[in-house]
C-alpha cells in the first residue's frame, strides 16, 4: 500500500496504473489483485488507513471533546499528520480537486468530514457558540488550507506558529 500511496500522491490516482504499482512494489500484478479487488479498492484501503491514523490520535481523548486541552490535542493531531504523513495528505488534496474518483472514496471522505465535524461541534456547543457546526467546519477547513499551502510551498508555511494561532482563534 505504501508504494501505491507514494505513486498516487506523486503522479495522481488516475495516472498510476495497477501494473506500475505492482512493478514499483516488486510484485506481480496478479499478486496485487490477491489483496485488492481493484485499484479503487486499493485507494479505499489507503484512505481507510489514513483515517485510522487520525482516529488513533483522537482516540486518546477519553470522553467527548469538550475542553481547550482536548481541542489543542485535536488541532495538534491534524498538524502532526501533515508533518508525518505527507504522501497521504498529497493524495488527499489531489482527490479533493479531481472528479472521477470512486463513489466509495467520496463516501469515505464525506464520512470523515461528518464525523470530525460532529466531534468538534460538540466542543463549540458546550462553549455556547450559536453556530457550532459551522465553526467546526471552519476549523477543519483552516487546517486543510494550511496543509494545502504547506504542500504547495513548504518554505512559506510555519506549521508550528499556525498551529498555535489556530488554537488561539478557536479555544
pTM of the model as a whole: 0.79
Tens digits of per-residue pLDDT, 115-125? 788 888 999 99
- Provide the number of structural domains found in the chain: 1
Separation of CA 147 from chain center = 10
Share of the chain above pLDDT 70, in %: 93
Question: What percentage of the chain exceeds 90 in pLDDT?
Answer: 47
- The range of the structural domain enclosing residue 85 comes to 42-170
Asked whether 20 and 101 are in contact (CB, 8 A), the reply is no
pLDDT, greater one: 140 or 164: 164
- Establish if 108 belongs to a structural domain: yes
Assigned domain for 8 exists: no
Say how many C-beta atoms besides its own lie within 10 A of residue 136's C-beta: 24
Q: Does residue 63 belong to any structural domain of this protein?
A: yes
- The predicted-structure confidence for 62-99, as pLDDT tens digits, reads as follows 677 888 998 998 899 889 888 988 888 888 777 777 65
CATH of the domain at 54: 1.10.357.10
With a cut of 90, say whether residue 20 has pLDDT above it.
yes
**pLDDT score at 129:** 96
Asked whether residue 14 is assigned to any structural domain, the reply reads no
Look at residue 65 and tell me if it is in a domain: yes
Decide if 90 is inside a domain.
yes
Nearest to 43 by CA among 87, 93, 90, 1: 1
In a domain, 22, yes or no: no
Amino acid at each position: 500500500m505504501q508504494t501505491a500511496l507514494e505513486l498516487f500522491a506523486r503522479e495522481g490516482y488516475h495516472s498510476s496504473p495497477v501494473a506500475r504499482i505492482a512493478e514499483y512494489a516488486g510484485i506481480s500484478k496478479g499478486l496485487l489483485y490477491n489483496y485488492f479487488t481493484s485499484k479503487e479498492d486499493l485507494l479505499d484501503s489507503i484512505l481507510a488507513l489514513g483515517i485510522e491514523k487520525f482516529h488513533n490520535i483522537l482516540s486518546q481523548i477519553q470522553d467527548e471533546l469538550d475542553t481547550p486541552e482536548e481541542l489543542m490535542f485535536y488541532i495538534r493531531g491534524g498538524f502532526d499528520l501533515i508533518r508525518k504523513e505527507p504522501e497521504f495528505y498529497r493524495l488527499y488534496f489531489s482527490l479533493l480537486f479531481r472528479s472521477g474518483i470512486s463513489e466509495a472514496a467520496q463516501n469515505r471522505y464525506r464520512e470523515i468530514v461528518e464525523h470530525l465535524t460532529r466531534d468538534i461541534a460538540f466542543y463549540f456547543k458546550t462553549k455556547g457558540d450559536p453556530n457550532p457546526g459551522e465553526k467546526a467546519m471552519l476549523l477543519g477547513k483552516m487546517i486543510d488550507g494550511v496543509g494545502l499551502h504547506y504542500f504547495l510551498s513548504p518554505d512559506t508555511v510555519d506549521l508550528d506558529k499556525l498551529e498555535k494561532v489556530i488554537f488561539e482563534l478557536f479555544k
